Amino acid sequence: MAELEQRRILKTEIPGPRSIELMARKSGAVARGVGTTMPVFAVGAGGGVVVDVDGNSLIDFGSGIAVTTIGNSAPRVVAAVRDQVQLFTHTCFMITPYEGYVAVCEQLARLTPGDHEKRSALFNSGAEAVENAVKIARAYTKKQAVVAFDHAYHGRTNLAMALTAKSMPYKFGFGPFAGEVYRAPMSYPFRDGLSGEAAAARAIDVLDKQVGVDNLACIAIEPILGEGGFVVPAPGFLPALAAWAAEQGVVFIADEIQSGFCRTGDWFACDHEDVVPDLVTTAKGIAGGLPLAGVTGRAELMDSVHVGGLGGTYGGNPVACAAALGSISEMETHDLAARAREIGAAMHSRLTALQERHAVIGDLRGRGAMMAIELCAPGTTDPDPVRTAAVSAYCHQQGVVTLTCGTWGNVFRFLPPLSIPDSLLEEAFDVVAEAFAATA
């Protein structure tokens, strides 16, 4: 596809007539449970825009939920996928393996936190990676209890749902859930005002007294909450938890599915505090939009599973692996971690100005190009999901793809692709500012 013009273009109302037609077809063919954030159908995307069937060019502030970090159809991904697809599309790594899978695991060993000996296994989705990380931790420790945190999101499969905190829409009506899953309090500076050390002590007390360390196989944590509201734990929280886990022989799993691969201005969110997890789950940004996920961890832990104990028909599909290698090369060549920091600084200054004008913005937080504002009744922490939805709807109508998140649906999150030009970034924030003014 020819390079897309990097401009916001509104040719019709949003949604336009062809999207409306397609939405009607969707209702007749696609299960209702599969919702959409915007009622527009895409035909192209790249740089910082998504183009719809009516010729509208929308500014992308979502990256397909933190997936197309390097931009849609990035040149190295397109080339790598095209080459691979002409050679072979699938043999199944468990039948006749291929080099791409091994090469991705070598890259994961190199890039994930810590310079210890590592091994990886590849899967199709984030949820599958999380499930496998828990399987591996249980096999290694021969213990069963698993701890997740308040506001956590780890996926939609049964065990991942059990680990996920929020009922509607993720868990509602879908139980019973996997057993031996416990929940600990997360550090949420805006709401609990605790230091990292104090929040860690509070969580550790739950692990110790309510779960019992002798039962505890692993704790799984997002180093920055994703769906739960882009909460950055207070400094010291993650290091204290990781140190406690290491002392107690509990496997520390960092779910970097949303925060990984340059999004936060470093390779992984754990890198900001030099936290070295025992296991890291990755997906989303790893392969520029192709489905791929991984579990990477200490060699002795990963290799404690019997031969044949890990796998799946498509896990580490050759086309997805080629895309991942192209994607990583794109990140390194263009130093996209630095670009994420640059975008983060620009977003921070625009959002600070916005917060000064609108008391409804209670908190501004995030790292790099993973930034959010939390909307609350002025001067309180009472969530304001209604205003959040109104601001978001305004942005959508004006051609900016924005996403919300948070346990109370009152967090507005910003996840632009790192390929977005500065001009579009500024224009999208002009629209966000208008949206706040128009909905006041």
Interface contacts to ligand PLZ, rule CB under 6 A = 65, 125-127, 130, 153-156, 222, 226-227, 255, 257-258, 283
Judged by beta carbon, residue 52 or residue 227, the one nearer ligand PLZ is: 227
Cα(152)–Cα(160) distance, integer angstroms: 10
Cα(314)–Cα(308) distance, integer angstroms: 15
CB of 63 to ligand PLZ, least distance (A): 11
Sheet containing 370-375: order of strands: 361-367, 370-375, 411-414, 403-405
Distance linking the first and last C-alpha atoms of the chain: 41
Judged by beta carbon, residue 16 or residue 289, the one nearer ligand PLZ is: 289
The CA-atom distances, in angstroms, between 180 and each of 144, 212, 217, 383 are 6, 12, 10, 31
Judged by beta carbon, residue 48 or residue 155, the one nearer ligand PLZ is: 155
CB of 64 to ligand PLZ, least distance (A): 10
CB of 424 to ligand PLZ, least distance (A): 23
CB of 222 to ligand PLZ, least distance (A): 5
CB of 60 to ligand PLZ, least distance (A): 16
Tell which residue, 140, 149, 145, has the closest CA to residue 298. Answer: 140
CB of 191 to ligand PLZ, least distance (A): 20
- Structure token pair of residue 405: 């998140």
Residue ranges of E strands in 18-69: 42-46, 49-52, 57-60
CB of 358 to ligand PLZ, least distance (A): 27
CB of 255 to ligand PLZ, least distance (A): 5
- Structure token pair of residue 63: 């990256």
Judged by beta carbon, residue 19 or residue 258, the one nearer ligand PLZ is: 258
Judged by beta carbon, residue 108 or residue 360, the one nearer ligand PLZ is: 108
Judged by beta carbon, residue 61 or residue 436, the one nearer ligand PLZ is: 61
Cα(359)–Cα(369) distance, integer angstroms: 23
- Structure token pair of residue 330: 């794109």
Judged by beta carbon, residue 127 or residue 400, the one nearer ligand PLZ is: 127
Tell me the backbone φ, ψ of residue 33, rounded to 5 degrees: -60, -20
Residues 6 or more apart whose CB falls under 8 angstroms from that of 82 comprise none
Tell me the backbone φ, ψ of residue 356, rounded to 5 degrees: -65, -30
Residue in the shown chain whose Cβ atom is closest to ligand PLZ = 126
Cα(57)–Cα(7) distance, integer angstroms: 7
Amino acid letter, 292: L
Judged by beta carbon, residue 45 or residue 295, the one nearer ligand PLZ is: 295
In this structure, are residues 370 and 66 in contact, taking their beta carbons and an 8 Å threshold?
A: yes
- Judged on CB neighbours under 10 Å (0-12, 13-18, 19+), 389 is middle
